[in-house]
Amino acid sequence: KNEVEQSPQNLTAQEGEFITINCSYSVGISALHWLQQHPGGGIVSLFMLSSGKKKHGRLIATINIQEKHSSLHITASHPRDSAVYICAVEGGTSYGKLTFGQGTILTVHP
């Protein structure tokens, strides 16, 4: 079993839909990251969370430390949101060393 599990692995949506991507982890962490990767490889850091909730534009990330679970929500999805979304965790004593989930491939159709 991987230390970081994401669901779903693939997600297809119509423009305007509300999207949720889930991440569960099995280790103690100091922080959880949500990252976006477009075709061609470049990775962009969306959020770094250690508790609660963060919002940036149409993106919202939440984390429940007790349940070892985080969600990334996209409101009013748009085709330009199509990308791979990756959850990664930093261990309690391994600052800066990320363990990644396998990613969720999101496709938003117009």
Which positions touch another protein (CB under 8 A)?
Answer: 4, 33, 35, 40-45, 48, 86, 88, 94-103
Distance CA 64, CA 58 (A): 20
Closest distance of CB 67 from another protein, Å:
22
**Closer residue to another protein in complex, CB, 74/86:** 86
Closest distance of CB 96 from another protein, Å:
4
Q: Which structure tokens are listed for 65? A: 């430390």
**Closer residue to another protein in complex, CB, 16/28:** 28
Distance CA 100, CA 70 (A): 13
> CB within 8 A of 77, min separation 6: which ones?
13, 14, 15, 16, 17, 18, 19, 58, 108
Closest distance of CB 2 from another protein, Å:
9
**Closer residue to another protein in complex, CB, 17/43:** 43
